[in-house]
Amino acid sequence: MTAASTSRGSLRRRGIFGPNLADRAFRLGTFLFASAVLALICLLAYQLVHASRPALRQFGWSFISKSAWDPVHGSFGVLFAIYGTALTSLLALALAVPIGLGAAIFLAELAPRRLRELLSFLIELLAAVPSIVYGLWGVFVLVPVLRPVEVWLGAHLGFLPFFQGAPYGIGVLAASLILSIMVLPYITAVSREVIQAVPVTQREAAYSLGATRWETIRGPVLRAARSGIIGAIILALGRAVGETMAVTMVIGNRAEIPTSFFSPAYTLASLVANEFAEATGELHIAALIGAALVLLVLTIFINAIARLLIWRVTGGHRRVR
């Protein structure tokens, strides 16, 4: 053996050559990529804060506690948009969660393999449809169908405040229906994966004690998957809160707190999308960017809660693959 080969072998054992150096380089590279994502989020937040400073300085906390939106007189408050965002998102979840969770249980526990693969593909395909396509479908298909439905709801449930008002078709209900379709694949896909991750031994233990399939699913399976399912719902909530174009096209875009499901309204995202191109004054632009900042903070908060809940389903440990 030559001296050069002996020296190279010694260096390889020390980690200067060989897999240790490659591992360190790979770890450093991935760390830089992850840090770049964090840096982009921090830069985005900084730019939003900096650009919205005129509105935040002038209005302070009243910017999020008042509903006065008057570009002519320079008075801005986004409470109506926060309320519209919360109302449409929560109503969308109320419509999508039962369907999505039921579909997830069927796909994970009951469906034949071929049917499971086909339905999973079709449901997940909903997430790939562009937002503008949902908006066009809502304007030309959903809204005309929804008008007689709102007339019926007003006639039979008009004694409730949420079912009063003129049945235009556009408004909170139309936006919520669009959002429920858009968040359905998120609830279904994540819930299905969480349910399938429940150990088979828990199902076998329930069957050995005489439980039926329904009792097994309702008991140990859903109980073990509860945190992950809640995480899926909150992830869907974050998706609904940030949706823009489809909601803008069917919500009616009226700057006031909606009094019923039939009323036109604004969300934070639709407010920015609808008015930013026409904003001229510095204060108006700063107010719209301030609305975007509120939306960013709300979205980060919702997604952080979702990540914590999904982390809980693994028992706080990272999986080794």
Same domain, 9 and 142: no
- Residue 252 and residue 274: Cα distance in Å, rounded? 11
3-class secondary structure, 75 = strand
Q: Are residues 42 and 74 in the same domain?
A: no
- Whole-angstrom Cα distance, residue 114 to residue 120? 10
CATH at 188: 1.10.3720.10
Among 12, 29, 50, the domain boundary falls at: 50
The verdict on 183 and 36 lying in the same domain is: no
> What angle in degrees, to the nearest 10, is found between the helix axes of 282-313 and 226-242?
170
96 lies in the same domain as 125: yes
- The pTM score is 0.83
**Mean pLDDT score, 136-151:** 93
Is 220 contained in some domain?
yes
* pLDDT tens per residue across span 49-86: 999 999 989 988 889 988 888 888 888 999 999 999 99
- The answer to whether position 55 is within a domain reads no
pLDDT of residue 123: 86
Same domain, 119 and 33: no
Specify if 321 maps to a domain.
no
Across the chain, mean pLDDT equals 85
Please tell me whether residues 9 and 64 are part of one structural domain.
no
3 state DSSP class of 292: helix
Query: Does 32 share its domain with 170?
Result: no
Q: Is 319 contained in some domain?
A: no
At residue 181, what is the residue type? I
Domain count, the chain: 2
Tell me: pLDDT of 178 over 50. yes
Is residue 114 within 8 A of residue 195, CB to CB? The reply is: no
Ordered DSSP codes for 213-262 = HHHHIIIIIHHHTHHHHHHHHHHHHHHHHH--HHHHHHSB--SS--SSTT
Full domain range(s) for residue 160: 60-313
Q: How confident is the model at residue 319 (pLDDT cuts 50, 70, 90)?
A: very low
Residues 39 and 132 in one domain: no
Q: Based on the fold, state whether residues 30 and 144 are members of the same structural domain.
A: no
Residues 93 and 180 both lie in one domain: yes
CB atoms within 10 A of CB 2: 7
